[in-house]
Amino acid sequence: MKKIGELVAERTFLLSALASSSITVAILAFMVFMGLPLMKQAGFYQLLVKPWAPYQGSFGIYPMIVGTGCISFLSLVVAFPLSLGCSFLIATIAPKPVSKGLRRLIELMTGIPTVIYGFVGIFLLVPYIRELFRSGSGLCVLTAALVLGIMITPTMTLFFCDSFDRIPRSYLTAAEALGASRTQKLLYVILPCAKKGMLNGVILALGRAVGDTLVALMLAGNSVRVPGSVLEPARTLTAHIALVIAADYESPEFRSIFACGVVLYLFTMMVTFLVRYLSFAEGRRD
Amino acid sequence: MKTRILENFTVVFAWLAGLVLLSGVSLLLGYLFFKGHASLNLSLIFGDTPPLQALLLKQRVFEGLFPAVAGTFVLVVLSIAWAIPFGIATGIYLAEYAGPRVKRVLDALFDVLSGMPSIVIGLFGFSFAVFLHKHYSDRIGPCLLISSIALSFLVLPYIIRTTQAALEGIPLNIRLTALALGATRLQNIFLVLIPRSVSGIMSGIILAIGRCAEDTAVIMLTGAVASAGLPRSLFSQYEALPFFIYYISSQYADSEELMQGYGASIVLLFLCALLFVTAYGIRKGLSHFVFYRP
């Protein structure tokens, strides 16, 4: 027989768990509810592929989707080799004290506020890019992607290191017993074993790049056009939300940000479930 | 010899990557300090007002960062106050009570929430404020209360996850001893398991504080403004450090304001680094799954 107190406590815990988890659902519900008028009027799919032309009554978010895609992809291109190299350094190549120190430092770097990346980016990198390529204002896809790349590198590196750490000790000892050098161990044992975990890291870093607002908002120039090259400005989904929010509550322009919200939400969900599936598959293999 | 080349190349590549990252970050921080160190003094925070008078709320600060710092402080305290009870209770439920099936569903939901871009949460908070404004009271708009609630949604997964991980990490023999001596489940949780996982829970809370202090996207949609003075009530708009930095970067009028922006960046950076190091010191080896912030 349970005491009343026990039961009450259990119910309280259950209720708070339900309340917290309902937030996830509530956010999607709200987003869809608020965006519904526009989605009904234009069709959700149509919104995704149409250009943004408020004066012709078209509020498609296609340019923002392309902008987000370009900037995130480019930032991955910057971050992937950097993270790979750094995680190699930490895993085997660097001597023990250096690798420990580097890891601490990279962990600390995940705590640098995004707004500071943006702030320094504006005053340091933007003038430099402007001088270097002599085109436009320097606020462009390339600038945003570079800063974003540096910003997501620590996260990605730590995930890589994590997947290296999960490799069974016995594999490594076996390689050592066969006379493998540190680099050989890395290339022929650790790397092939850790592939899935690394894929996870890349996906999560991509999620972070897509979800970031401040860097893109401050550095990408925010023009609503499909960027023709990396030196042209672009607007991301996140920046679009931040920029349009000042407008009138009832206008279709305002409604379009909920379509952006839904897209971002669905993307987050996809990333989460993909990562869960991959780690589940990885767990089953062991 | 081809493999030999590959191996050498790997070593060079790794060192190069490390060098690039380090120089990138030191450039970022070095630039910030080089440009902003001159602005670091008391008048950066308090302007021309005597610090004591400002702290006691006797005089308004016009030229300094004091309202922004105070706004950030109040905001953090409020959001953490909302998030702690729910976060810890949910963490306890997940670790101690939930059956495997329920746990899988809840885990998935919290994973989605922890990966949610902060601007989406901000948008939710904003539309919630608009909703309340239309249906309940004209007095409610984007304000301190709404911001703090939205921020607490943002950091809830951190607290849940660290609580859960700390509880689940307790070895079985400790878990069973009190129960074997006749303690009830609840007694076991509060007298044995929670005291043992306080450090884990604390580090989660400190990380959550850092996240609250740092986040800009949520607050810029839910009530942070460039000039509001000190926050007067839960339903007023307010200033905050990260928003101030963002605002200065696009709207600065003269070099003096810009210097203030540099100063604010350095203050925020120090604040976040301090919180981070504290969290790290409290509990070493915390998985950065907790640190992952989209």
- Cα A221 to Cα A143, A211, A265, B138, B218, distances in angstroms: 10, 17, 24, 36, 21
Three-point CA angle A247, B133, B139, nearest 5°? 110
Asked whether the beta carbons of B71 and B239 are under 8 A apart, the reply is yes
- CATH number of the B41-282 domain: 1.10.3720.10
Three-state SS for A79?
helix
Chain A residues whose CB is inside 8 A of the B126 CB are 245
CB distance B220 to B130 below 8 Å: no
How much is the pLDDT for B279? 78
User: Residue A202's CB: how many other CB atoms inside 10 A?
Assistant: 18
pLDDT tens profile B118-143: 999 999 998 888 888 888 877 777 88
pLDDT digits (tens, 9 = 90+) for B250-277: 888 788 888 888 988 998 998 888 888 8
Q: How far apart are CA B267 and CA B214, in angstroms?
A: 11
The pair of structure tokens assigned to B94 is 């997940």
Phi, psi of B286 (to 5 degrees): -65, 135
- Collapsing DSSP to helix, strand or coil, A209 comes out as helix
Q: How far is CA A243 from CA A149, A214, B252, in A?
A: 23, 11, 18
Three-state SS at A52? strand
Q: Which residues contact A80 (CB under 8 A, 6 or more apart)?
A: A156, A202
Element (H, E) at B154: helix B144-168
Structural domain boundaries of chain A?
49-285
Q: Please name the helix (run of DSSP H) or strand (run of DSSP E) that holds residue A168, with its range, or none.
A: none
> For residue A125, what are the CA distances in angstroms to A60, A101, A217?
31, 28, 15
Q: In whole angstroms, give the CA distance from residue A72 to residue A39.
A: 26
Residue A58 phi/psi, 5-degree rounding, is -110, 120
Angstrom distance (rounded) from CA A141 to CA B108: 33
- CB–CB contact B216 A114 (8 Å): yes
Is pLDDT above 70 for A283? no
A280, exposed or middle or buried, with CB in 10 Å at 0-12, 13-18, 19+?
A: exposed
Beta strands in chain B (DSSP E): none
Mean pLDDT over B215-237 rounds to 83
Chain-chain contact of A210 with B117 (C-beta, under 8 angstroms): yes
Res. A82 pLDDT band, cuts 50 70 90: very high
Mean pLDDT of all residues in B176-180: 90
Show residues of chain A in contact with B275, CB under 8 Å: 111
Distance from CA of A227 to the nearest CA of B (A): 22
What residues are paired with A234 via a beta bridge?
A221
Q: Which helix (H) or strand (E) holds A53?
A: strand A52-53
Residue (of A61, A67, A48) closest to A216 by Cα position: A67
A8 at B interface, C-beta within 8 A: no
Q: Are B151 and B219 in contact (CB under 8 A)?
A: yes
The amino acid at residue B104 is R
Sequence-distant contacts of B135-140: CB under 8 A, at least 24 apart: B139/B235, B140/B235
Tell the CATH topology of A49-285.
Answer: MetI-like fold (1.10.3720)
Phi and psi at A53, nearest 5°, equal: -145, 80
pTM of the model: 0.88
**What amino acid is encoded at A77 in this protein?**
V
Question: Which distant-in-sequence residues (6+ apart) come within 8 Å of A60 by Cβ?
Answer: A42, A46, A47, A48, A49, A50, A51, A52, A53
**pLDDT given for residue B289 in this prediction:** 45
Q: Per-residue pLDDT tens for A51-62?
A: 777 777 777 788
- What is the average pLDDT value for chain B, to the nearest integer? 85
Using CB atoms, pick whichever of A14, A158, A183 lies closest to residue B93.
Answer: A14
**φ, ψ dihedrals at B252, nearest 5°:** -65, 140
| Interchain CB contacts (distance < 8 Å): A and B | 263
Which chain B residues are within 8 Å of A6, Cβ to Cβ?
184-186
Average pLDDT of B47-71? 77
pLDDT digits (tens, 9 = 90+) for B5-31: 888 899 999 999 999 999 998 998 999
Q: pLDDT tier at B101 (50, 70, 90 boundaries)?
A: very high
Is the CB of A25 inside 8 Å of chain B's CB atoms? Answer: yes
* Minimum mean pLDDT range among A89-103, A127-141, A163-177, B180-194: A127-141
> Of A64, A44, A58, which is closest to residue A226 (Cα–Cα)?
A64
Q: Do B10 and A214 touch (CB under 8 A)?
A: no
Asked whether B155 and B80 are in contact (CB, 8 A), the reply is: yes
Write down the pLDDT at residue A22. Answer: 92
Q: How confident is the model at residue A230 (pLDDT cuts 50, 70, 90)?
A: confident
